[in-house]
Chains A and B, each alone.
Chain A
Amino acid sequence: NAGVTQTPKFQVLKTGQSMTLQCAQDMNHNSMYWYRQDPGMGLRLIYYSASEGTTDKGEVPNGYNVSRLNKREFSLRLESAAPSQTSVYFCASLRDFRSYEQYFGPGTRLTVT
């Protein structure tokens, strides 16, 4: 099992460019999450998908969109990147919405200049 995988590992964008961060899990988990982590801020939830076919906003959704493509894949899109979106992005999965332990991907370090 690869667990949770994310691509790319690193990305540099110019302000206004768009990109999609990919996340996939092979654990047959129902729930998936996107977080961003900034220095001194802990992890903040951007969007989540409690189950295939549903997505909901988290704490900091502005400037992002998500797609739960199927049970395995949950992508995060930045339509028009801004320097404030410079961060490390983590994807995580949970067996189901009532489970406790999240499994995290290795992260994507994004810099917007």
Chain B
Amino acid sequence: EDKVVQSPLSLVVHEGDTVTLNCSYEVTNFRSLLWYKQEKKAPTFLFMLTSSGIEKKSGRLSSILDKKELSSILNITATQTGDSAIYLCVNRDDKIIFGKGTRLHILP
């Protein structure tokens, strides 16, 4: 059965800290792995990683895909209170499978 597992499920850090969120996947036919940020309402797209694009960066956020380990990490450096959200990892092959998310809370 295809699945996506995220860890930790929740994390509380202080503003300015660096955090690493983890996502591991077991899927039949890997095509892509996506990261979304969900604040109060709908998820918004952050990154997409594929076999031909295993590292992405945008400002303080970056993500890497490890095809051997079947995992991905999302790094956020110099965290700010606005980074508080649920971060969702999604596998996209023939199906779309969401992980349960990591709830990140940044203390001022």
A interface, CB within 8 angstroms of B: 4, 33, 35, 40-45, 90, 100-107
What separation, in Å, do the CA atoms of A42 and B23 have in the docked complex? 13
Q: List 29 A-B contacts (CB under 8 A).
A: A4-B42, A33-B96, A35-B98, A40-B9, A41-B100, A42-B88, A42-B99, A42-B100, A42-B101, A43-B43, A43-B88, A45-B95, A45-B96, A90-B42, A90-B43, A100-B34, A100-B48, A100-B92, A101-B34, A101-B45, A101-B48, A102-B43, A102-B96, A103-B45, A104-B42, A104-B44, A106-B41, A106-B42, A107-B42
Residues of B within 8 A of A107 (CB): 41-42
Of A4, A35, A42, most buried by chain B (CB within 10 Å of CB) is: A42
Residue of A41, A102, A103, A107 contacting most chain B CB atoms (<10 Å): A102
In the bound assembly, the distance between CA atoms of A22 and B32 in angstroms comes to: 29
Size of the chain B interface, CB-CB below 8 angstroms = 17
Cβ–Cβ < 8 Å partners of B98 in chain A:
35, 42-44
Set B32, B42, B45, B99: member contacting A105, Cβ < 8 A: B42
- Look across to chain B and name the residue whose beta carbon is closest to the beta carbon of A6: B42
